[in-house]
Chains A and B, each alone.
Chain A
Amino acid sequence: MTDELNRYLDDEVGDDALTATARTDADAWDRMVESFRAAAPRAAAPAWLEQNVMRDIEALPHQGRLTRALQWLTNPTPVRVSPLATGLVVAAFALVLLLPQTTPGPGPDPTAGVARGTPGATTTTEDTGPVVYVQFVLEAPGATSVSLAGDFSDWEASVTLADQNADGFWTARVPVRPGVYGYMFLIDGTEWRTDPRADRYRDDGFGNRNAVLAIAASD
């Protein structure tokens, strides 16, 4: 497949822009695509489908208000964190932590209450500062596995997300040092997906875009 032919099949150029050889290939592709369309099975949903769906729904365990309230209280709830909000929280947290250092005498550890990051994590900008935990969330109903790769993991999909509530929301809490990171989700080990809820994106140089996470430095 040539780029020229792909551009034609992607409706980016007309056949008048093709060379004679490419036009011959394009005609063959047009005939083949038409075959696929002509042969494609088409049918309306069977009449009994609606009845079966509604029957299955009625058979589902009934959830009263009390049950839902208990579930809300006991089930972990995914929290969506935007990079900007995360940065502001980190900055505010760091400010609070640094204040005691201005007083004479021994003070609390500036990183008290903040866990250390994973030793192998790398950053694109800084490699110092307190580790913060970022909650990554991806809605991927039907996925069997979701992992995360980014600058902070040398683009190894080593961070595994979990669908703890079996509701299609995959989450992971990842220790990250201040810096700016590109990242992507990997679904079922084959499908790369850009975080649709990221605040920023950047081209990866291969025609796709990575989501960008920015964690502000503490000082």
Chain B
Amino acid sequence: MVSPVERTDAQVVRDVLSGDHDAYRLLVRRYGDVLYGHALRMAASHDDAADLVQRALVQGFQKLRTCRDTDRVGAWLFRILANLCKDHIRSPRRSDISLTALAGMLRGGSDPASDAEGAEVRSRVWGALDALTPEQREAFVLKHVEGRSYEEIAAVMDLSVASLKMRVHRARQALRGLLEEYA
């Protein structure tokens, strides 16, 4: 069983690699919600998000020996998931989501009336992300939806700030048609 004593990520990785597979639960618990949230915003489907996170965590376990910076195993797992998400978006087998279903999944306000009115707008706005490439969508979601700084994203994704800015700028360019809704 996993010890209740708080262990660092590096200690957990060491324990797992020493044969204590159950210790991997700690990493699943620590990063499961963050990974799931990102997968949900990339895949826009609860089922797909759960499948992607499950695959990422199992792949992470299988490749754990290749993780060099074990103190940052969370970022390493995030990169595995991010790549799976982008592959998923590119995949022709990706299930299409109806706007109705999308509107139901997206968050609404507390007022049911305004929620109903806003559902269509929300689904149209969020559905516009489908016009972006997987890389642009990822950069836009991390920067503007998750509110992370470029430096933070660059560190996690192992990319240069300049590359990230380029992707976000192109995403904004692709989304500028939506601006009329907010002018």
Contacts and interface: CB of A to CB of B under 8 A. Distances in A.
Whether chain B is bound by chain A comes out as yes
B22 interface: yes
Contacts of A169: 66
B156 interface: no
A55 to B, nearest CB: 10
A47 to B, nearest CB: 10
A45 B107 contact: no
A44 B36 contact: yes
Contacts of B13: none
Contact of B50 (A35, A49, A144, A192): A49
Interface string B159-177: 1101101101100110110
Interface string B102-123: 0001110100000000000110
A53 B173 contact: no
Q: Give chain B's interface residue range (CB within 8 Å of chain A).
A: 35 or more
Contacts of B169: 1, 6
Contacts of A53: 24, 28, 54, 57-58, 61
Contact of A54 (B25, B36, B46, B179): B25
Interface stretch (A13-21, A56-64, A89-97, A125-133): A56-64
Interface string A185-204: 00010111110100000000
Give the most central of B54, B61, B147, B176: most A CB within 10 Å. B54
Nearest to A47: B32
Interface string B38-78: 00110010100010011001110111001000000000000
Interface in A50-78: 50, 52-54, 56-58, 60
B135 to A, nearest CB: 6
A28 B179 contact: yes
Interface SS majority for chain B: helix
B33 interface: yes
A207 B166 contact: yes
B93 interface: no
Interface in A152-196: 167-169, 188, 190-194, 196
A191 B167 CA distance: 10
A188 to B, nearest CB: 8
A31 B182 contact: yes
Contacts, number: 153
A142 B126 contact: no
Contact of B106 (A39, A52, A188): A39
Give the most central of A43, A140, A169: most B CB within 10 Å. A43
A11 to B, nearest CB: 8
Contacts of A38: 107, 109, 122
Nearest to A139: B66
Interface string B133-148: 1010000010011010
Contact of B32 (A28, A29, A49): A49
B66 A167 contact: yes
Contacts of B32: 44-45, 49-50
B83 A50 contact: no
Contacts of A105: none
Contacts of A9: 172
Q: Which 9 pairs across A and B sit closest by C-beta, in order of nearness?
A: A142-B83, A45-B36, A45-B32, A39-B122, A31-B182, A207-B162, A28-B182, A39-B106, A53-B57
Interface of B: 21-22, 24-25, 28-29, 32-33, 35-37, 40-41, 44, 46, 50, 53-54, 57-59, 61-63, 66, 79-80, 82-84, 86-87, 90, 105-107, 109, 121-122, 125-126, 133, 135, 141, 144-145, 147, 149-150, 158-160, 162-163, 165-166, 168-169, 172-173, 175-176, 178-179, 181-183
7 contacts: A39-B125, A49-B36, A49-B54, A54-B22, A139-B66, A168-B80, A207-B166
